Amino acid sequence: MILSNSTKTHHLWRLTFSQQYRTLPFNKHEAEPRHRKKGHKTSSRNRYDAPFVNHVKEARDPGEALTLFHEYLQRGFKPDYPSYAALLYKLARCQDFGAVEEVLRNVEDNNVHCQETIFIALFHHYGKAQLVQKAVDLFNRMTRFNCVRTKQSLNGLLNVLVDNGWFLEANELFDRGYEMGFRLNSVAFNVMIKGWLEKGEWEQANKVFEEMLERRVEPSVVTYNSFIGYLCRNGELDKAKDLLEDMIKKGKRPNAITFALLMEGSCLIGEHDEAKKMMFDMEYRGCKPTVVNFGVLMSDLGKRGKIEEAKSVLHEMKKRHMKPDVVAYNILINYLCKESRAADAYEVLFEMQVGGCEANAATYRMLVDGFCGAGDFEGGLKVLNAMLTSGHFPRVETFRFMVVGLLKSGNLDGACFVLEEMEKRQMTFCPEDWEALVMESCRGDENGSVGEHVNELVLTMEA
C-alpha cells in the first residue's frame, strides 16, 4: 500500500479532485433530464434484470470487477451467459488474462451455454497482447463450452495468426477449415491476402487470390481494397487506378474506403489537389464521401502543418450534416499536441463531447502526453482523471513521466494518486525505472525534500 497512514485523507482528496475536474459531463445520458429517462424502455428494464452486468460495466478496473463477481457468487448468484460475457469483456479489455482464465474455468465448470462471439472477442484481445498460443488453445477448447464453432471463429483466429506473423499456422488452420467441413468465405482469403501484402509479398497474395478464384469464392470489395491499398502505399497510384477500373468492370462497386485509399495514394506522391478532386469524382460515380474521406484530407493537411485548414475540413463535415467521429477529432488533437498546443487540443476534446462523440484511448493518450510534454502536469492529471473514469489507461512511460513531473512541481498528492492507480492495474516500475525516477526527481532538489518523498514512495511500493 502507498502511504497507508494517509489513506483516508487520500481518498477524501480524490473525491474532491474528481468533482473539481469532471469538466466533461456532456454525455447524452447525463445531459438528459431525469423524468425523461424513466420512460426510456430498454435501459430501465435491463437495469432491473441484470444488476450484475451493470455493476461489472461500471467497475473501474479488473480487480474491482473480479471482487464483485466473487461477492455475487457468495450470495448464491448463478451467472448466466450475459453475466459471464460482460465480465470477460471487461477483464480482456484490461488485459487481465489471468482473471480471464479463472473465469473461463468457472464457465466450464458451470456448464453455461456460450455464444461464439465472446470467444472471437477473446481471440482478438489475446492477439493484441501477442498471446497467440492462448488464442489457439482457446479455439481448440471452445467445444467444451457447449459452443457451436463456425467459420466465424476460424476467421477470427486466422486473423490473429496472420497479424502476429504466424503464417505456417495460419495456412494449417486454413486447410483445417476445409477438413472441418467449413465452406470458407471471402473473409478467410482476405485475411491471408492482407497478411502477405503487409509483408510486401505481392506474389504470395496473388497466389491466394488465384486459389480464391479456383475455389469459386467471389472476391469482395475488401479483396480489391487490399490490393489497391498496397499499390497506393507503394506509390503506384496509376496501377491502383487501373485496378479500380478493373473491379468496376467485374461488377464490384468501389466504396468510400476504396476512394479513401486512392486519396491517400495521391497525397503520398504529393498530389494533394488530386486527392481533393477525387472527393468530387467519387460522388459523381455514385459513392458518397464519408468521414473516412474527410479524415484523409485532414491528416494530409495536418502533416503539412496546415492545422487551421484541417479544422475547417472538420467544420465542413458538420456543415454537410455529417457527424465527425472520434478519429476525425483525434487527427486534430494529434497535430495540435505535436505543435505544443495542448490547451487548444483540450478545447477539441470539449467540442467533441458536446457533439456527442466519445473520446477513446488514443484521444486521451495524445492529450495526457501533450500536456506532460509541454510540462503542464496539472493539465495532464486533469485529463488522466477523465481517462481513468472512462476506463482507459495510459502507457507505463506516461505514468512514469507524470510521477516525476508531479513530484518536481511539488504535487505529492498527485504523484501518489498516479502511483495508486498504477498499483490497481498491477503496473509497476522495473528497477531501472525506479532508479531513473529517483535520479530525475533529485535533480535540482536543493533541500532534498523531493528525494525524501521519493524514498518514502519506494519503500511503500516495495512493501
Partner DNA sequence: TTACAAACCT
Using CB under 7 A, which residues numbered 376 to 395 contact DNA?
395
C-alpha grid cell for residue 74? 457468495
| Window 297-316: contact mask with DNA (x via CB under 7 A) | --x-----------------
Tell me if 334 contacts DNA by CB under 7 A: yes
Tell me if 460 contacts DNA by CB under 7 A: no
Single out the residue of 264, 376, 421, 440 in contact with DNA (rule: CB under 7 A). Answer: 264
Tell me if 427 contacts DNA by CB under 7 A: no
C-alpha grid cell for residue 185? 468465405
Using CB under 7 A, which residues numbered 153 to 172 contact DNA?
155-156, 159
Tell me if 438 contacts DNA by CB under 7 A: no
Q: What is the DSSP letter of 250?
A: T
CA distances for 330 relative to 23, 357, 396, 459, angstroms = 19, 11, 21, 39
CA distances for 137 relative to 123, 127, 166, 329, 440, angstroms = 10, 12, 15, 39, 44
Q: Which stretch binds DNA (CB under 7 A): 24-32, 219-227, 431-439, 442-450?
A: 219-227
Contact 209, 246 (CB under 8 A): no
Query: Rounded distance, CA 182 to CA 159, Å?
Result: 16
How far is CA 299 from its chain centroid? 19
Contact 224, 258 (CB under 8 A): yes
Q: Which stretch binds DNA (CB under 7 A): 30-38, 205-213, 216-224, 424-432?
A: 216-224
Q: Output 106 or 117, the one with its CB closest to DNA.
A: 117
C-alpha grid cell for residue 234? 507503394
Contact 192, 170 (CB under 8 A): yes
Query: Could you tell me the smallest distance in angstroms from the CB atom of residue 385 to DNA?
Result: 19
Tell me if 220 contacts DNA by CB under 7 A: yes
Tell me if 260 contacts DNA by CB under 7 A: yes
Query: Could you tell me the smallest distance in angstroms from the CB atom of residue 7 to DNA?
Result: 31
Query: Could you tell me the smallest distance in angstroms from the CB atom of residue 10 to DNA?
Result: 29
Using CB under 7 A, which residues numbered 53 to 72 contact DNA?
57
Tell me if 186 contacts DNA by CB under 7 A: yes
Query: Rounded distance, CA 306 to CA 313, Å?
Result: 11
Query: Could you tell me the smallest distance in angstroms from the CB atom of residue 4 to DNA?
Result: 33
Q: Output 335 or 377, the one with its CB closest to DNA.
A: 335
Single out the residue of 311, 365, 382, 400 in contact with DNA (rule: CB under 7 A). Answer: 365
Query: Could you tell me the smallest distance in angstroms from the CB atom of residue 116 to DNA?
Result: 7
Query: Could you tell me the smallest distance in angstroms from the CB atom of residue 69 to DNA?
Result: 15
Q: Output 314 or 419, the one with its CB closest to DNA.
A: 314
Single out the residue of 14, 151, 207, 306 in contact with DNA (rule: CB under 7 A). Answer: 151
Q: Output 379 or 394, the one with its CB closest to DNA.
A: 394
| Window 86-115: contact mask with DNA (x via CB under 7 A) | x--xx--x----------------------
Tell me if 50 contacts DNA by CB under 7 A: no
Contact 177, 184 (CB under 8 A): yes
How far is CA 82 from its chain centroid? 22
Query: Could you tell me the smallest distance in angstroms from the CB atom of residue 104 to DNA?
Result: 16
Which bin fits 77, alpha (ψ -120 to 50), beta or left (φ > 0)? beta
Query: Could you tell me the smallest distance in angstroms from the CB atom of residue 329 to DNA?
Result: 9
Q: Burial of 256 by CB count in 10 Å (0-12 exposed, 13-18 middle, 19+ buried)?
A: middle
CA distances for 239 relative to 59, 278, 377, angstroms = 51, 16, 49
Using CB under 7 A, which residues numbered 229 to 258 contact DNA?
229, 255, 257
Tell me if 361 contacts DNA by CB under 7 A: yes
Query: Rounded distance, CA 145 to CA 115, Å?
Result: 9
Query: Rounded distance, CA 185 to CA 73, Å?
Result: 42
Query: Rounded distance, CA 34 to CA 435, Å?
Result: 52
Query: Could you tell me the smallest distance in angstroms from the CB atom of residue 357 to DNA?
Result: 11
- Nearest 10 degrees: CA dihedral of 413, 414, 417, 418? -150
C-alpha grid cell for residue 299? 491528416
HEC letters along 264-301: HHHHHCCCHHHHHHHHHHHHHCCCCCCHHHHHHHHHHH
Where do contacts with DNA occur on this chain (CB under 7 A)? 57, 86, 89-90, 93, 116-117, 120-121, 124-125, 151-152, 155-156, 159, 185-187, 190-191, 194, 220-222, 225-226, 229, 255, 257, 260-261, 264, 291-292, 295-296, 299, 325-328, 330-331, 334, 360-363, 365-366, 369, 395
